[in-house]
Amino acid sequence: MDRIVQSYMDSFLKSQDIVEKNQSKKFEMFASYCAIEQMYSENFNPIDVVIGDGDDCGIDAIAILVNGLLITSKEEIDDLLEINKKLSEINFIFVQAKTSSNFDYGDMGTFGTGVKDFFSDSPQMRRNEAIIEKSKIVEYIFSKATYIKKKPVCYLYYITTGKWVNDQNCVGRMELVKSDLLDLNIFSNVVYIPVGADLLQKYYRNTIDVIETEIEFSNKILLPEIPGVTQSYLGYIDSESYLKLITGENGEIRKSVFYDNVRDFQGDNPVNHEMSESLRTDSQKFVLLNNGVTVICKELSNIGNKFTLTDYQIVNGCQTSHVIFNNKNDIINGLQLPIKLIETEDDETVNRIIKATNRQTEVSDEQLIALNEFHRKLEAFYGTFTGANRLYYERRSKQYNYGTDIEKVRIVSISTQIKAVASMFYDKPHLASRYYGRLLKSIDGIFNDGHQPLPYYTCAFTLYRLEFLFRNKSIPAQYRKFKYFILMLIKYDLADDKIPEMNANKMNKFCEKILAMASDNSKLTDEVNKLTQLIDKHVTDITSAESTKTATLVENLKTEFVIK
């Protein structure tokens, strides 16, 4: 392993607070994270995707992406269908990582065989628990075939520390794998990507560096001075330049630039279908028929007509962008697209632009939740903690993602915050595996302006500390699926009196008691070991995740305490 890859891997392990002695395991986690992050840039826990641990079909990691979300349970599919009525975009990502310095065409073929067996109706290879769980999710997705608007895409990343030189045998084996998988007739495309040391280094830099893209923007006017805005332009741009803004390293659409656009791509609905037809048949009029896109960037510089956008988000135009990307090979006669380009770091201005541009289409309350004032206060409250107690509330997606000085495991997304507070203080750990928007609707009064901020921090910090114990094998990994139940049980076990209301001053004193215990490794380990005995008492099959999804388990566990 070259020194740069080793250095990057060490930096990654530190950012994830991972203590692992086995070099191969460390590389599997690092390489898998880097590959998956190219297509899913939200913070995620490597433990949720890395499955290589014997009987793994020659696969080190699996990520299932549906409608832009990383799926870890069947229930999330149900929630997406309830909200979107369709499964508009499905990607399966498989990773095999080798510390060897060469590409072995035999291993590359074995990897492909394992992926094919994973999708088989009659699998021949032995499967570990993680593989079985992923397979059940995939089977459930295909059982919803009437809601799938486009066949999934399958990505295979074969990663080594060597140099990729387009060896004929390796290329041939990759083509055979792609052909075998396409013959299953369940994919619209199969992409096999060989990743050597140079590309792996680039992948990792992509996870920590801000996005920066240069485009040609000649047809523009500079808008007058606007409070809160450094500079802004109105004009139109050709499709070739625009595709640079939205296309990633491997030619895929760059999902990370749409996180501040509150609506994900809605697939081939009537509006998008009509847009596609217009784009293919009458592209010269597209500039007149389309409302255009709005791009906000932290830094905007130009030399003549060449503009460099740094750390940018497309806050309105997700549907247009996907339609252009999906039809890029059919665009003729130089399509032009209306565009607003804005440089600002003023949060209030950004929020107003997002609300204004997205209120033109129907959006749900949970899609605009990040703009609520409570989250701004919560972000500031998190910032009052220092040292080992420091966490970072990610009010706006990826705001802490760039740079290596922040441990990624200390970043708390809105989704994680909702799941933690719902589990600890609202007794809903059985719903934590669901899409956060569904969970949000089940809780009255969450994120109320009158609430104390400390309970929100407390449940997130306790979850962070639980994950630390699981990650470093201080408590058995089989109980990780019950982590949200453990949050609830900690609350009841430590309560001396009636559980205070979220807006009560007494809640702060109670939270301080929980934090004192959670901050101490020994005390937290003893507490978890005590509580897992209760889980053993009420769960028949501790290896199955099904019991974690029932309200019955919640009520059974609560009977162990005098409910206060």
H/E/C letters for each residue in 17-72? CCCCCCHHHHHHHHHHHHHHHCCCCCCCCHHHCECCCCCCCCCCEEEEEECCEECC
Dist. CA 463–CA 488, nearest whole Å: 11
Is the distance from CB of 527 to CB of 516 less than 8 angstroms?
no
Look at residue 363 in the predicted model and tell me its pLDDT.
44
CB contact at 8 A, 93 and 36: yes
Task: Say whether both 108 and 171 belong to one domain.
Answer: yes
143 domain-assigned: yes
* Judgement on whether residues 122 and 266 belong to the same structural domain of the protein: no
Residues of the chain with pLDDT under 50: 360-367
Rounded to 5°, the CA angle 532-534-537 comes to 115
- What confidence score (pLDDT) does residue 382 get? 94
Residue at 110 is within a domain? yes
User: What number of other Cβ atoms are within 10 A of residue 201's Cβ?
Assistant: 17
Residue 316 β-bridge partners: 294
- pLDDT tens for 334-381 read 788 999 999 998 878 887 887 776 654 444 444 456 557 788 889 899
With beta carbons less than 8 A apart as the criterion, state whether 334 and 237 touch.
no
Residues 131 and 104 in one domain: yes
Q: What is the DSSP letter of 87?
A: B
Residues 6+ apart with CB under 8 A from 237: 215, 216, 217, 219, 336, 337, 339
Report pLDDT for 364: 46
Q: Is residue 493 in some structural domain? A: yes
Q: 153-159 and 90-97 as β-strands: parallel, antiparallel, unpaired?
A: parallel
CB 192 within 8 A of CB 177: yes
What is the helix (H) or strand (E) element at residue 502, kind and residue range? none
Rounded Cα gap, residues 117 and 65, in angstroms: 20
Three-state DSSP class for residue 159: strand
Range of the domain at 89: 3-208
Residues 408 and 445 both lie in one domain:
yes
Please state, in angstroms and rounded to a whole number, the distance separating the CA atoms of residues 237 and 421. 45
Dihedral sign, Cα of residue 54, residue 59, residue 64, residue 68 = positive
Q: Could you give the number of structural domains in the chain? A: 3
Quote the pLDDT of residue 273: 72
Phi, psi of 247 (to 5 degrees): -110, 130
Residues 240, 192 within the same domain: no
Residue 563 within any structural domain of the chain: no
Q: Is residue 564 part of a domain?
A: no
Residue 112 confidence (pLDDT): 95
Q: Judge if 230 and 303 occupy the same domain.
A: yes
d(Cα 501, Cα 451) in Å, to the nearest integer? 9
Quick one: 407 and 300 in the same domain? no
Contact present, 467 and 533 (Cβ < 8 Å): no
Residues 6+ apart with CB under 8 A from 243: 324, 325, 328
The DSSP-derived string for 226-273 is: -TT-SEEEEEEEEHHHHHHHHB-TTSSB-GGGGTTSSS----S-HHHH
What is the distance between the alpha carbons of residues 405 and 14, in angstroms, rounded to a whole number? 10
**pTM, 2 dp:** 0.79
Domain end, chosen from 159, 174, 208, is at 208
* Statement to judge: residues 296 and 192 lie in one domain: no
Residues 202 and 243 in one domain: no
* CB-CB contact of 16 with 407 (8 Å): yes
- Has residue 141 been placed in a domain? yes
N-terminal to C-terminal alpha carbon distance within the chain: 56
CB contact at 8 A, 96 and 111: yes
- Which of 208, 231, 259 corresponds to the end of one domain? 208
Helix 505-518 with 521-538: angle, nearest 10 deg: 100
| 3 state DSSP class of 379 | helix
pLDDT at position 152? 95
Task: State whether 147 and 237 are in the same domain.
Answer: no
Assess if residue 316 is contained within a domain: yes
CA atoms of 451 and 456, how far apart (whole Å) = 9
Q: Are 255 and 189 members of one domain?
A: no
Let me know whether 275 and 292 are in one domain: yes
| Coil, strand or helix at 156 | strand
Q: Which of 362, 392, 415 is the last residue of a domain?
A: 362
